Amino acid sequence: MTNDQLRSALRELNAERDLTVAFAYVHSSHWPGQNMLTIKRAMLIPDEADHLIKVTDGNSIYIVEAEHVAWLKIG
C-alpha cells in the first residue's frame, strides 16, 4: 500500500468511527494481537509538509507507515 492509497482510505474517518490497523511483519507469540492498533473516534489529520500519515483521537497523534499496513477496519 502506498501513502496516497492509505490517505485515500482514511478519508472515511470523521471522528465518529473507530479505526483498527493490522501491521504486517509484526509477530509475537508471547502477546497475540500486538500487531494491531485500535483508535477510537479516529480522524485523519490533513496532509502536512512532512507528508506523514497522521491519525488522531483528539488526545494523541498516531503516525502510520503505509508500507507496514496489512489491513484496515473502519467502523
> What CATH number did the domain enclosing 57 receive?
2.30.30
What's the chain's length in residues? Answer: 75
Distance, CA of 75 to CA of 18 (rounded, Å) = 5
> What pTM did the predictor assign?
0.85
pLDDT level of residue 24 (50, 70, 90 thresholds): confident
Q: Which domain holds residue 42?
A: 3-74
- What's the total number of domains in the chain? 1
Question: Alpha-carbon Rg of the chain, whole angstroms?
Answer: 12
pLDDT value, residue 64: 95
Distance, CA of 51 to CA of 18 (rounded, Å) = 23
Average pLDDT on 47-57 reads: 96
- pLDDT of residue 17 exceeding 70, the answer is yes
